Amino acid sequence: MILESFPVGPLACNCTLMGDEDAHEAIVIDPGDEVGRIHKRLTELGLKLKQILVTHAHIDHVGGALKLKRLTGAPIFLNENDIPLLKMMEAQAAWLGIQTPETAPPDGSLTDGLVVGLDRFPAQVIHTPGHTQGSVCLHFAPLKLLIAGDTLFAGSIGRTDLPGGNFDQIIDSLQSRVLTLPDETRVLPGHGPATNIGEERDTNPFLRTM
C-alpha cells in the first residue's frame, strides 16, 4: 500500500494519497490546493485516480477538487450537508483573501455508513457534524486508520465558529462516533501531526471530561 500525507495550500491542509500498487489505483482525500503536485505524484507512481474524497467543504480542503477531477476524470464525493458551504466559495475565499477556486456539485454524497476507497483498502464514512454540517471522518478499519478532517486534531478539535459550526454537536460526534473506535486507531487530522484515538482520549483537553 502507498500512503502519503502532505500539507497543501496556505492553510497547510493535510492531503492524503492512498494507492494500491498492484491494482494501479489510488484515492486522494482533501486536495485543497497544489493540484499540479498531487497529479504529478499520481503520475510518478503510475496510479489511476479512482475517487476524490472530501472530508468537508471548507476551501482549504475542497479548493482543488474540481481541477483534479478535470485532470483525472475521477468523481468527487462530499457529504450533501456541506453543499451550502460549497456554494459559499466566494465568501470563503474572501475570508482568506485568496482567489475563488471553481467548484461543482459533487458526483456523490459521503453519506453515513457508505463504503468508499479502494477494493483492497475500503473505508467506512462516519458522519461527524459539528465543525461543519457535512463533516465526515473516513475509517479504514482493516488499516486501523482514521482520516479525521477538521473534526479531531492532535490535542484539539475543529473550530465551530464558522457558518455551519456547532460546538455541542462536534463534542457529541467525537464522543459517540470517534472515541468509540479502538485506542490503537491511527488518526491523520486535516491539519498538523498524526495522533491516535487512545492518546486523544487520555490527553485531549476537549475530550477528557467524558
**Region of 2-10, 56-64, 140-148, 164-172 interacting with Zn ion (CB under 5 A):** 56-64
Chain-centroid distance of CA 33 in Å reads 13
Rounded CA separation 135/161 (Å): 14
CB of 13 to Zn ion, least distance (A): 8
Could you tell me which of 58, 101, 100, 98 has the C-alpha nearest to residue 82?
58
Using CB under 5 A as the binding rule, whether residue 150 contacts Zn ion is answered as yes
Q: Looking at beta carbons only, is 71 or 167 nearer to Zn ion?
A: 167
Q: Least distance from C-beta 173 to Zn ion, angstroms? A: 14
Among 39-47, 57-65, 122-130, 175-183, the segment contacting Zn ion (CB under 5 A):
57-65
Binding positions for Zn ion, 28-47, rule CB under 5 A = none
**For residues 39 and 61, which CB has a smaller minimum distance to Zn ion in the complex?**
61
Q: What is the 3-state secondary structure (H, E, C) of 104-167?
A: CCCCECCCCCCEEECCCCEEEEEECCCCCCCCEEEEEHHHCEEEEECCEECCEECCCCCCCCCH
Answer for which of 58, 67, 139, 191 binds Zn ion (CB under 5 A) is: 58
**Chain centre distance of CA 15:** 8
Nearer to Zn ion, 95 or 208 (CB): 95
Segment near Zn ion (CB under 5 A); pick from 17-25, 78-86, 105-113, 150-158: 150-158
Query: To 10 degrees, the CA torsion angle through 136, 50, 187, 56?
Result: -30
Q: How far is the CB of 190 from Zn ion (least distance, A)?
A: 6
Among the residue ranges 6-14, 24-32, 50-58, 87-95, the one whose residues contact Zn ion (CB under 5 A): 50-58
According to DSSP, the β-strands at 145-149 and 186-189 are parallel
Which positions touch Zn ion (CB under 5 A)?
58, 150
